Amino acid sequence: MAIQTRPESSNDNLESPKTAQPYLEIRNLQTAFPGNEKPTIVVNDVSLSLARGETLAVVGESGSGKTMTFLSALGLLPKSGRVIGGEALLSGRDLLKLPPREMRALRGSEIAMVFQGPLSGLNPVFRIGEQIIEAIRAHRRISRRAARQEAIRLLERVHIPAASSRIDDYPHQLSGGMRQRALIAMAIALDPAVLIADEPTTALDVTVQAQILELLSDIQAETGMGMVLITHDLGLVARHADRVAVMYGGRVVEQGQLSDVFKRTRHPYTVSLFRSIPHLHTPADAELTPIDGQPPNPAELPPGCAFEARCYLGKGRRDCVSAIPPLAATDLNTHLTACHHWPELAGTGANG
Amino acid sequence: MTVNEPTLRPASEQDEPILELHDVRKVFGSRGVFGNSTGNTVTAVDGISIRIRRGETLGLVGETGSGKSTIGRIVLRLDEPTSGQIMFGGEDLAKLSVREMRRRRQYIQMVFQDPFGSLDPRMTVGELVAEPMFVHGTPRAEIPLRMERILKHVGLDPRMSERYPHEFSGGQRQRIGVARALVLDPSLLILDEPVSALAVSIQAQILNMLRSIQRETDIAYLFIAHDLAVVRHISDRVAVLYLGRIVETAPRDKLYTMPRHPYTISLLSAVPVPDPDLERQRKRVELHGEISSGTAIPTGCRFHPRCFRTRFIATQQGGSTISVEGEQLARQCVESDPVLVSAVGDDDEHSAACHFPLSDTELAAVMGMRLGDKPSLNDHANSQTQEHNS
């Protein structure tokens, strides 16, 4: 493979919301599941946007609402889940208001999703080629033969060796990395404007992970596709994202340009995440600072800030206990945080 | 394998190892539906020698299929070694009967990855922690006291001992698993991916606990994981595995700052660091293809099909090359199996199994370690890495 450069963070200059119409814009989204007494809100007032060619990383632990946000937008929530408020605009059209048939037509062709765990997205009893051909023919009127040619081209595009024979393999005949490539081939088959990649490499070895993400970056550079990268790996975020949203307890708690969130962190949860995980570039003997306690149960969120009980900054403080901090501007343009006491963090970068 | 001997010689007499594996092999025979041998075998561990000293942590890293978990299971003889010695406390565990082995297990304990699957849901925490003591005949009168001590040690409130595992979070369950493993005062603990199933904000709690227990008790750890940053954080020495072999082993800092084996270098370069400036200046060494399987181990150096180094060496003047699937590779890499030998001078702490281990300057060029430097081996670096502008 020849030298490749990362697609220049081309949005840096064009990025202000006035000039670039966002591909995907989620506004004040709220999603609930039935609970014992009252509904459990798993996505709470979430607003996110994604521009053309941009990569937005959504960071959070399991239960933070990061996957539910996008399942809601795509109409893929489990049966008992309900979107109870907000909008999810794709090029100006509200996905939440579309009749199921139109949503099905958009899903895959305009907006596609790749899930964690490459086995979950492939049907084990069909050859991978058949599954890709079916995905193509569900949206485009072309012959089987043409669709098969197209499927081979897609498998080659995701660097599956000997694509013209691999197309007739069953999923179990492929390695984990190859299965994830096949899933990506299926997701990009119809050239979607937006790809949601939900922990696309979590189950894979680190060397395979690097290959898969380089592949996604390459595809993005070619097509201008916008990508949402849902992950808990801050290293991957540093490498691939343009902007970052950090989620906790169903809300976005910090959001901004990559360098702002990483170098001028304005939320104590984000700071703690950096300090609690060992990294290759920090001193090997440095003591880790664990985050006390557990991530919150969405069914039992406190009346104040969801992070208060674990927070080194706000624990026990009156406003933190009683009032949910709104996501609001910081000292930095386009950098938002949901913390009552963020000014006390000024001068702390997560990276020193 | 006498060639491995240099790394096995004790540095001094006080450094007596508590565990030494000598040339351990494990071949799994594959069986058909009716239990008949199909003749296909998988070599999971292919001649491994390691040593662990008292109070020391040896980290074993490797990808899926490297054999790292099998090694942990072999030490406890949960899997039987096909050949080789497992020296522990002056005897070869591989030679013990099943019954004798069972008694030794109080000195070697294991913590598993999955804190959900490894605890019996019908037993209370107290019963779970007391069970090893009943099995190994601890006097009944001692049990309550030891249980209380160990629960405090792992950061659990002894009053919780009447509760069941499902009432605990993942991190707390892993603490219960560690308490169960430590309650018999073992001298060696095998930890197989002990934090990889936990929420990221919880992992540090368990890692810190393991470090503090080691400082207090002088217990040795065999720490098996795929996460290079986690292994670096907890280990004194590290061994990198590839397809059932150790390809490089060194004291922690040497391995992470001066790796010599192309596989170690490829692995380290694949791990992104969460600093945008640093990360986007780093170069990525590309691995060719995917890991082979233990059913068909490549000839010569088992890493050669994926190695950037052999491709570079093949472009240099003077060496003999061979064409494999249309690519020129160094002949030696394809035809001769490299042994694990000292990687730099006579440093017998740092060994690599490579015909062409990288020098410091070559390493800097390949990894872009000295940021801003122009790579001195331009062609080498360019054809194998992807430079990321920021």
Spell out the residues 6+ positions from residue A18 whose beta carbon is closer than 8 angstroms to its own.
none
A348 pLDDT tier (thresholds 50, 70, 90): low
Structural domain for B19, as ranges: 2-30+40-252
User: In this structure, are B247 and B273 located in the same domain?
Assistant: no
* A232, A235, A274: residue with CB nearest B272: A235
Q: Do A295 and B199 touch (CB under 8 A)?
A: yes
Tens of pLDDT, residue by residue over B4-48, are 444 444 444 456 899 999 999 999 886 666 666 666 788 999 999
Mean pLDDT of all residues in A75-81: 91
User: In this structure, are B236 and B282 located in the same domain?
Assistant: no
Q: Which of residues 305-324 of B touch A (CB under 8 A)?
A: none
* Cα angle value B241/B246/B252 (rounded, 5°): 80
Chain B nearest C-alpha distance from A103 (Å): 34
Inside any domain, residue B244: yes
Inside any domain, residue B374: yes
Inside any domain, residue B201: yes
For chains A and B, what is the number of CB pairs under 8 angstroms?
139
Contact list in B for residue A259 (CB cut-off 8 A) is 276-277
Inside any domain, residue B321: yes
CB B327 within 8 A of CB B311: yes
Count of CA atoms in the C-beta half-sphere (13 A) of B339: 11
User: In this structure, are B162 and B273 located in the same domain?
Assistant: no
What order of strands is seen across the sheet that includes strand A24-33? A40-50, A24-33, A82-90, A93-94
Mean pLDDT of all residues in A213-233: 93
Q: How far apart are CA B10 and CA B19, in angstroms?
A: 12
Tens of pLDDT, residue by residue over B172-217, are 999 999 999 999 999 999 999 999 888 888 889 899 999 999 999 9
User: In this structure, are B206 and B236 located in the same domain?
Assistant: yes
* B204, B267, B268: residue with CB nearest A276: B204
The per-residue pLDDT for B146 is 93
Query: Which of B192, B219, B252 is where one domain is finished?
Result: B252
User: In this structure, are B261 and B233 located in the same domain?
Assistant: no
Mean pLDDT of all residues in A41-62: 94
Spell out the residues 6+ positions from residue A333 whose beta carbon is closer than 8 angstroms to its own.
none
User: In this structure, are B148 and B218 located in the same domain?
Assistant: yes
Find, in chain B, the residue whose alpha carbon is nearest to that of A3: B386
* Nearest residue to B238 (alpha-carbon basis) of B210, B216, B260: B260
Contact list in A for residue B253 (CB cut-off 8 A) is 284
Tens of pLDDT, residue by residue over A268-323, are 999 999 999 898 988 888 888 889 888 888 888 999 999 999 999 988 999 999 99
A175 pLDDT tier (thresholds 50, 70, 90): confident
A5-19, A60-74, A205-219: range with lowest mean pLDDT: A5-19
Say which DSSP state A277 is in.
Answer: S
User: In this structure, are B91 and B156 located in the same domain?
Assistant: yes
* Nearest residue to A112 (alpha-carbon basis) of A35, A214, A184, A9: A184
Q: Answer with the residue of higher pLDDT: B290 or A30.
A: A30
Spell out the residues 6+ positions from residue B139 whose beta carbon is closer than 8 angstroms to its own.
none
**Orientation of helix A268-276 relative to helix B200-217, angle to 10°:** 40
The per-residue pLDDT for A122 is 85
Query: Which of B209, B231, B252 is where one domain is finished?
Result: B252
Q: How far apart are CA A48 and CA A30, in angstroms?
A: 12
Q: Do A62 and B64 touch (CB under 8 A)?
A: no
User: In this structure, are B177 and B315 located in the same domain?
Assistant: no
* B272, B290, B389: residue with CB nearest A175: B290
A94-108, B71-85, B270-284: range with lowest mean pLDDT: B270-284
The per-residue pLDDT for B265 is 94
The per-residue pLDDT for B387 is 33
User: In this structure, are B63 and B184 located in the same domain?
Assistant: yes
User: In this structure, are B232 and B121 located in the same domain?
Assistant: yes
Query: Which of B252, B281, B296 is where one domain is finished?
Result: B252
Q: Do B388 and A6 touch (CB under 8 A)?
A: yes
* Nearest residue to A55 (alpha-carbon basis) of A181, A187, A238: A238
Chain B nearest C-alpha distance from A139 (Å): 33
Q: Do B64 and A276 touch (CB under 8 A)?
A: no
Tens of pLDDT, residue by residue over B308-337, are 999 999 998 888 999 998 899 999 999 999
Find, in chain B, the residue whose alpha carbon is nearest to that of A178: B290
Q: Do B274 and A274 touch (CB under 8 A)?
A: yes
Chain B nearest C-alpha distance from A25 (Å): 25
Q: How far is residue A326 CA from its own chain's centroid?
A: 22
CATH number for the domain harbouring residue B21: 3.40.50.300
Token pair belonging to B278: 């640093």
User: What is the ipTM for the molecules in this complex?
Assistant: 0.84
Does the CB of B230 have a partner CB in chain A at under 8 Å? Answer: yes
Name the percent of chain B lying above pLDDT 90.
65
Contact list in B for residue A287 (CB cut-off 8 A) is 208
Inside any domain, residue B218: yes
The per-residue pLDDT for B386 is 35
Inside any domain, residue B158: yes
Query: Tokens 């939320």, residue?
Result: A267
Q: Which residue in A62, A174, A201, A206 has the most chain B C-beta atoms within 10 A of its own C-beta, making it the best mutation to test that interface?
A: A206
What order of strands is seen across the sheet that includes strand A111-114? A111-114, A194-198, A226-231, A55-59, A243-248, A251-257, A336-337, A328-329
Inside any domain, residue B370: yes
Q: Do A207 and B200 touch (CB under 8 A)?
A: no
**Orientation of helix A176-187 relative to helix A206-223, angle to 10°:** 20
Inside any domain, residue B35: no
What are chain A's domains?
A: 22-241 (3.40.50.300), 251-345 (no CATH)
Mean pLDDT of all residues in B137-144: 92
Q: Do A277 and B390 touch (CB under 8 A)?
A: no
The per-residue pLDDT for B335 is 96
The end-to-end CA distance of chain B, in Å, is: 48
Domain tally, chain B: 2
User: In this structure, are B277 and B344 located in the same domain?
Assistant: yes
In 3-state terms, what secondary structure has residue B264?
helix
User: In this structure, are B207 and B337 located in the same domain?
Assistant: no
